[in-house]
Amino acid sequence: MLARCLRAANTLVVGPVTLNTPEVPQRNRQQQAVYAKCDNTKISNLAFAHPKDALLEQAREAFSELELGIGDYGQYLVNAAFGKQTLGLLHSAEREIMSGKREVRAALKRL
């Protein structure tokens, strides 16, 4: 689960897009595919079923951070599709994705 999401997130190109160009829907489709692979429902259910497992909880938090960043990037792309350049949201998404990737890598090593 974690490794699959991390591999998908590593393929995601995160950065500014030119408004009202074919680049916006292309990146949006890519983001949606990665977001679908990073659904944290399964790991959340597993973590809640084993509340005393600290490593599993840390992995869930890392996974959630990455998913949040990918979701924020998706919102940035939606805004770009409507002609709004929300660079603050883009930078926030970039930070969350980088932090999430780092945390997921560390979680994978611990598990």
Q: Kindly report, residue by residue over 57-86, the tens digit of the pLDDT.
A: 888 898 899 999 999 999 999 999 999 989
CATH of the domain spanning 2-110, picked from 1.10.150, 2.60.40, 1.20.120, 1.10.760: 1.20.120
Q: What's the pLDDT score for residue 65? A: 92
Cβ–Cβ < 8 Å for 33, 27: no
pLDDT band at 45 (very low <50, low <70, confident <90, very high): confident
Q: What is the pLDDT of residues 6-26, one digit of tens each?
A: 899 999 999 999 998 899 999
Please report, for the chain, the start and end positions of each structural domain, with discontinuous segments joined by +. Answer: 2-110
User: What pLDDT does 83 receive?
Assistant: 92
